[in-house]
Every structure is written in C-alpha cells, then in structure tokens.
Structure 1
Amino acid sequence: MSLTVSSLSPHPNRPIKSSISERSTTSPPFSSPSHLPMRKIPGDYGLPFIGPIRDRFAYFYTQGRDDFFRSRVNLYKSTVFRVNVPPGPFIASDPRVITLLDAASFPTLFDTSLVEKRDLFTGTFMPSTSLTGGHRILSYLDPSEPLHAPLKKLLFNLLSSRRHAVIPEFRRTFSSLFQTLETTLAADGKAEFGDANDNACFDFLGRALFDRDPKQTPLGSDGPKLIMKWVLIQLGPLLTLGLPNVLEDLLLHSFRLPAALVKKDYERLAAFFKESAGTVLDEAEEMGITRDEAVHNLLFATCFNAFGGMKILFPGLMKMLGRAGGKVHGKLAEEVRGVIGKGGGEVTMKGIEEMELVKSVVYEALRLEPPVPLQYGKAKRDMVVESHEAAYEVKAGEMLFGYQPFATKDPRVFERAEEFVAERFVGEKGEGLLKYVVWSNGPETETPTVGNKQCAGKDFVVLVARLFVVELFLRYDSFDIEVGTSPLGSSVKITSLKKASF
C-alpha cells in the first residue's frame, strides 16, 4: 500500500479498517505450524537483584546495547530469549522480559488482541504522572481504556485540520535553518546541526499545528531546552550520558530523578499550549475530554512524540545521506528538482508523492534507526510466538520486549540489511518490503486508528521527513558531514554545502 500524504491522518469520519492491531481472537492459543518445532524459550534472569544489575551493566557499559542483544542471539542460537532489561532495581520492580529480535516474532507486539499496552510506553517502568500534569497520557493508555479513542481522535482531527499549513510552514522554517547553517559554516568552517535543527523543529510545530510562533510568546526560544530537560527526567533510566559508569548508574539508572527538577519548565510549556490550542481545547471539551487533560496530551504529543521524533530522525537522515555520497546526492537532486520543475516550482503533496527515491531514503532511515527503538507488550493470555525457525510458548502476564533495529535489519528479509541502500523501497519489490518497516509501532502498510497503538502522526512524520530531503536537495547538490554520538540519536556537524548548480 502506498502512503497517501494528502491526508496526514485518518479522517475522523472515515470507516476504520481492520488492521493487525485490531483483529479479534476468540480461539484458544494458536498452535505452531507443523514445519516449526516447539522450543523452550532459552535464557535466564539470574539471581534476584544480582541478575538485573549484571544485565544492566552489560547493556549500558561492558557490552553496549547492540552487542548485549547480539551476543545472546549467538549464545542461544535464537532470536527469542529471556533476559533482564534496564532499568531494573530500584526503578522497575520486574525487569524480566521475553525478547523478540526478528521480523517474524516482532509483530506480536502490535497485536492488541494478544498483548496489553497499559503503562508500557517506556517499558518496565513508567515515569511519574507528575511529569504530565497528573495525567496518564495517551501513549500510556491501552486501546481498551475509555479515554484512548477520544484522545487519539483529537490528534487525528488536529492533524487533518492543519494539513494545509504543513508545507508552507516547513519550507519557511527550514529555509531559515539552512541559511543559518550556511552563515555559521562560512564563519567557522563547520556548523553544528543539532541545536539549529531543534529550534527549527519546535518553531515549525508551533506554527504548523497551532498557528503560533513560539518566539512570539513568553516561551521565547526556550522551548527545545525545556523539552530536553523534561525528556531527560523521563527517559534517564534508559539513557547513557557518558559519565563514569558507577556515577551514571547511581544517578540515572538506580533512582528516579525528581519531577520537581523540571516543574517550572513544564509549567512554561503547558502555558504555551493553554494559550495556543484554544480551538483544539474547545473541541476536546465537546468530545468529553477535560481541557486540562487535553492540554497535557497535546503537549506530550507535540513535544515528546513529534519534536522528539524529528530531533532524532533529521540528524539521522543527514548522517545517512552524508555518508551515501555524491552519486546518491545527484540522483536525489535530479528527482527533486525535476518533479518541482514540472509542477511550476511549487512543492506540493502530489509532487512529493511522485518522488520515489525521496520516499525510499526516508523509509530506509526509519528502518535503520527508528526514533523509538524499544517496544513492549504484556501477554493477555497463554499463546505461541513464532520466529523464523521455531515456536515458543508464552504464558499470560509475561512481558514481551522488542528491540526494533534488530527486527528491521533481519537478514532473512533485507539484503545487505545493515547498510543504507537508498533505492531499497523503489519499485514493486521495494514496496513489498514496507510491511517490515515498523517504526510507527505498526507496519508501514497499516493505518493508525483509534483502536490500535500505531502512532497517530505516522503520515505526518513521513511527510515532514520527505519535506526535509526535498528542501535539502532543492538547495544543495551535495554536502559533507562529521558524525558523533548523543544520548538521543546522532550528532552531526556540517563541513561543506555545495549549492545547487542546476
């Protein structure tokens, strides 16, 4: 199924189609197909307290996340196994999970007839609701809960009502971003992409979704800085900042950082949404959602989900495209300028949909480095989970966990699975692989609905990522970068920008 970017979200009145996340199951736990042998789930959790601490140190320090999982795949000869995942003591009471690391077993995590998603957005622990105005936000609600459907519908309605503003506001904001980078590059020989991108992303979201320039409000230019402090308090137990191991483990991974550290910052963010989202808040009340609950959900969806995703995705795109080299740059420049030229110089939804290579590189970036790499679900009943090679019995109440980059780099599905292949999703064969691109908490070929947990802004994120590539190659023939690491995604410095020559 091809993505239709002319509609940024499902229309609220459009009939909802059945999806992988909504298929009801009334039969007893399903059996393994005859060609898949039943196998006991390998792995163990070790001694209480000691096992989780051991695994936490391996995950963060002695092995690192990828090697932590890869070494166990090799040890157990299985992509399904038992292990403890961070943070463990004393933040999470039960760190035990069954890990799913292949494209066959991973989709179990999307099927809400099989798994419950209540309070599992960040996994084996949930940040204090003091960080979200005292509310359990949509991301933490299971579709069975009464507020899930109206809150998700509110986001669909917001995206649909503001779709006309996305392209012009994106172009205005990111044109200014690139001008700033050019000036910095000319003066210093290098330009740090991250901070400038953060400012542009938040300004764009304010104007595109709420018709409000954050800089013209009491928030000023502080939005991104406030958001990142707030996100750190929530995700600190899952991050590493490069501090000495023992100090970092005590500071971030053993005890919760107090919400009071960002109370004033959060109040400033909330005030922006109370002021800027008036019409959306009116609609929320008509839907039976209190204004206060709507404010904090809009804040979370905009700042944590949308801004956080763009903060990770855009530097990732710069990194992958920068490393892809001049040949790929030339093809993208030709496609982008050719389509825009045929359209009279205007960037339109229709034109973007015609850019097959642009679409492919965005999907490839989302495949290789999904913005939210960890997914969780608690088994609702006894069932069987199947990998490519075996079937495994899972008991009701057990926690399933997936590290998405392993599932989306499954060599049984993708050739040269670890590499960035710009044309991977071009053509009929490429489109057939889209069902394995699952960055949005569901397959790219599925649609977010009020009854599933797929990202409400799935189409919006893909659209703005395409717009980013379009804006980049309308302005430049090629560019060079230096790449580092950061707690969230990649750190990118631009070392050269070759302006468009045709």
Structure 2
Amino acid sequence: MASTFSTLTTTPSLQHRRLPISRSICCSISERPLTSSVTPAKDLPILKVPGEYGLPFVGPIKDRFAFFYTEGRDEFFRSRIRRHNSTVFRVNMPPGPLISSDPRVIALLDAASFPILFDTSAVDKRDLFTGTYTPSTSLTGGFRVLSYLDPSEPLHAPLKKLLFFLLSNGRRSIIPEFSRAFASLFSSLESDVARAGKADFGPGNDQACFDFLARALLGRDPAKSGLGSDGPSLITKWVLFQLGPLLTLGLPSLLEDAFLHSFRLPPALVRADYERLADFFRQAAAGPILEEADRLGVSHEEAVHNILFAVCFNSFGGMKILFPGLVKWLGRAGGLVHARLAKEVRSAVRANGGEVSLRVIEEGMPLVKSVVYEALRLEPPVPMQYGRAKRDMVVRSHDAGFEIRAGEVLFGYQPFATRDPRVFDRAEEFLADRFIGEEGERLLKYVLWSNGPETEGPTPENKQCAGKDFVVLVSRLFVVELFLRYDSFEIEVGSSPLGSSVTMTSLKRATF
C-alpha cells in the first residue's frame, strides 16, 4: 500500500491549524519467502495426524451441531485438543451437508503449525476464502473475486495491484475523511447517552465506516447518491447470504440449522440490493480507477465487482467487527489505561501544532500502536484460514511433526495461534503495552490477523491482505479520535453474529 496520506483532523479540545503535511508510507513489501513464526526443533517425532471424521454425513452433522450449539466455537476446538493431546488433528468443519461436498480438514491450532497457511508454495488458496464451501458467484456479479483466487491464477496479480492503486489514489483523504465521519458518530453517541443513558455503538459505527470508505477511497459521498444511508444495511444483508452457513443468529437450533447451515440462501433475494451497490461503485470508480484497470488488463465490470467486494466485504466488514472489538477491549482495560492513552494522544498532537499526522501516529504514539495490535491479536476480524496442500509434507507443531498428504485441506483457527501460551505471556489477557519496546517489536511476527505475519507485507504474489497497513492506520486513527474527545468511557458488551455488540453507557468528555 505505497501511499502518502495528508494529515488533518479537528477536536473540540485542541486548537488546530491547517498545515498540510504528507508522508510516504510503504506496505513493507518483502521479497523473502514467508517462514514459520515459530521454528520447532528439527528432531521432533513424525506422527500420523490424530482424529477421525466419523461416518459420512453423520460425522459432519455431529461436528456441526457441536460447533454451533452443544459446545460453541472455542470449546469445540479446546475439547478436541484435550481429546487428542495435540493441537493438530482431523475434524469436520461447518457447514458440511448439504452445502459443502467435503468438510474434512486438518486443524492447525498453535503458533508453530499455523504459518504454513501463508506459504503459497506449499498450499493452494483457490476457492478457500470461506472454507469448505464457496458462495455463488451470482453474489459477486458472476466473477470469482480476488479473495477466492490463488496467486498462481493469471488475474490475481492484476487485481491485487488494482487494490493497491485504490488505496494509493485515496491517500490524501484518509485522515480528514476519517475525522469527519467519526466526529459525526461520536456526536450521535453523546446525544443518545444524554437522552437515554446508553447508546448502541453498532449502527452508527456501520454508517461512519461506509461513509468514510466511500468518501476517502472513491471520492463519492453515499448521502448524495441513490444509496443515501442504505449502504450498511444492503451490505449486511449481502454478507449474510455469503457467510450464513458459518453464522449463528440465535434462532432455535433445529430451525437455524435447517435455514442457514443446510441449504444456501437464494442469491436472487438480494439481487436488487446488490445491483444498487454495484451501480454506486460503477459511478464512483469511473475515472482514474477504471483507467488503471484498463492499464492492468482488467475489464471494467470485473474491476467494479472486485472493488465493491474489497470495500464492502473486506474493508467495511472488517471495520464492522474490529472497531466494536477495540471499544470492548479498551473499555474493559479501565480508567488507568484510558488516562495513559489520552495523555499520549493529546501530548503528541499538541506537539505537532494541534494536527493529527501520520508521522505523529507512527512516531509519537507507541501505546496507541500497542493497543491496536493487542486487539488484533486477541480478536482477529477473520479468524479462520484455509489452504489445500500442494504436495506431501510434514507440518510441525511445538511438539511433533505431522504427515500431510497432497490434496488435504489445512485449516487454522487464528485466535488459538495468536493466543498461544508458549509464545505470549498471559496470552488470554489484554495487556495494553504488550507491543511496546524491543521485546514488543519482536512479538509482532506472531500477530497474524492480515493472513500473514505483521512483520511481512502484501505483494501481488501472496495472499496477505492488500489493505494491511490501511487497516492498522484507521484502527490507530479510531483510538486517536476517541481519546482526543474523551477522558474515559464505560460500556456494556454482548454478542452478535459478527464479533461483539457494544453499548456505550458513559462518555466523559476531555478535560485537559
């Protein structure tokens, strides 16, 4: 994401001067091959992968009910680690019958084995973005979009380069448009708390995220288009039709299993909604973005649907999960951490003439940087990754090597890799300053949220998130805007089909 961001925001507590400052930011592109974050001993015993899949049809259904209802996601994996005394084992992953023709995977649930999923010389990522099933291309304009392509496929590199261009093209708008969108969100939350004593963070966050992404990356305000304020609700419904087989909505288990996990929801039910989104993106992408698509040999329609997916599914969907998660972890961290963050943010901004700039965020806010990485470590927005073995190989955990055969599907549940107690001290806890200092920098290679180590970067040849640096930047911006405005806040936390549900119960305005 080679780009230069202009730098400006406003806050009621500080006097700002409009001093346009720009700075180049590179996506830390690495030409060296990805390697395992943890290097196990070479002399580990070589074992057969433990576990079994059970009877056809019956075994996958049994595992599906355990995953969603009788055990729940985390306990589903923990119980099997205990059963097999291994973090590598065979298991069926949802949805299984009748959506997935083959739910059999080999689970990798530790920091040593997980990184094989990033090695595109060892695993094929073709049509494995959502796991053991692939949503209909009717939901993406008839195209297999970038997320479902393996780097070996001819269109992968041009499409990923197009996303790099999209990010670079909007670079000067990132900070001012973020400030604008989230100032509106915070004002709305304050009004709701003052009136009702609480405010639901989710709906306002969704609107702010979509408005920000459209205005910053595409230069188009949804409110001044045919979308109006409908964008977030259209996207949420469209995402449900793709991820429904992996979600639970809190319905009675038998009804929900039949409705969501046994049959695909008909794409025709969201065709009109999707076309409204596509029309917006066709108009917004006209000009430099589609000119770049021409240069890269990508048709206009394919470019439009890939940009729509990247903005709505990858970026909006990620922020919809990540920002409530940030609020949850920061809210639980308490007043002492809030005070440290407020002091760091305001001191750094004041020292920069009252302006939020990329340089100040990178160089003057180590605690902000750390809390963002800690939230990404504990609750990565995309927790599951898959890859199909290209050849016979041995995959090593901390304790043993396991024989993998060509064609077998490898599955990783990222929160178990990034909460590995053999890597992280107090691995289940949110430690605000975990990534500060030399030791903190060393631990960054175990932060894997972007489908790769944080110390590596996206290239056209790998599957690491094209917007890796963009996501980290906007997450830091969110923390900065929050603590420029508030000394502290209090929350209530619930669950939702995608991540956490957060309600703000107190917002204490900045006093210094």
Partner of 2:451: 441
Q: Does the aligned pair in 1 maintain the 2:318–2:381 contact within 8 Å?
A: yes
Match of 2:309 among 292, 300, 305: 300
Match of 2:399 among 389, 413, 419: 389
> How far apart are residue 265 of structure 1 and its match?
0.2
CA distance in 2, matches of 1:267, 1:4: 33
Query: Where does structure 1 differ by over 6 angstroms across 4 or more consecutive aligned residues?
Result: none
1:264-275 alignment runs, 5 A limit: 264-275=272-283
Partner of 2:34: 20
The SS at the match of 1:198 is helix
> How far apart are residue 160 of structure 1 and its match?
1.3
Q: Does the aligned pair in 1 maintain the 2:380–2:415 contact within 8 Å?
A: yes
Match of 1:89 among 94, 97, 103: 97
**Residue 335 (structure 1) aligned with residue 349 (structure 2):** no
> How far apart are residue 158 of structure 1 and its match?
1.4
Q: Does the aligned pair in 2 maintain the 1:8–1:457 contact within 8 Å?
A: no
Question: In the TM superposition, what whole-angstrom CA distance separates every residue of 1:260-291 from its partner, at most 9, and x where no partner exists?
Answer: 01000000000000011112012101211000
Distance 1:9 1:488, change over 3 A: farther
Question: In the TM superposition, what whole-angstrom CA distance separates every residue of 1:391-413 from its partner, at most 9, and x where no partner exists?
Answer: 00100000000000000000000
TM-score by length of structure 1 reads 0.95
Letter in 1 for 2:470: F
Partner of 2:369: 359
Partner of 1:158: 166
Q: Which runs of 5+ in 1 are unaligned?
A: 23-30
CA distance in 2, matches of 1:10, 1:77: 39
> How far apart are residue 9 of structure 1 and its match?
5.6
**Residue 178 (structure 1) aligned with residue 192 (structure 2):** no
**Residue 123 (structure 1) aligned with residue 100 (structure 2):** no
Aligned pair count? 489
Question: In the TM superposition, what whole-angstrom CA distance separates every residue of 1:270-329 from its partner, at most 9, and x where no partner exists?
Answer: 000001111201210121100000000000000000000000000000000000000000
Partner of 2:17: none
Letter in 1 for 2:237: K
1:135-214 alignment runs, 5 A limit: 135-214=143-222
> How far apart are residue 21 of structure 1 and its match?
7.6
Question: In the TM superposition, what whole-angstrom CA distance separates every residue of 1:415-447 from its partner, at most 9, and x where no partner exists?
Answer: 000010000000000010000000000000001
Partner of 2:52: 44
Partner of 1:242: 250
Partner of 1:25: none
CA distance in 2, matches of 1:301, 1:82: 32
CA distance in 1, matches of 2:401, 2:30: 32
Letter in 2 for 1:318: V
Match of 2:76 among 68, 71, 74: 68
> How far apart are residue 98 of structure 1 and its match?
0.3
Letter in 2 for 1:211: G
CA distance in 2, matches of 1:350, 1:34: 43
TM-score by length of structure 2 reads 0.94
> How far apart are residue 18 of structure 1 and its match?
2.4
Q: CA RMSD in A?
A: 1.6
Q: Does the aligned pair in 2 maintain the 1:363–1:425 contact within 8 Å?
A: yes
Letter in 1 for 2:376: L
The SS at the match of 2:47 is coil
The SS at the match of 1:43 is coil
Q: Does the aligned pair in 2 maintain the 1:386–1:392 contact within 8 Å?
A: yes
Letter in 2 for 1:497: L
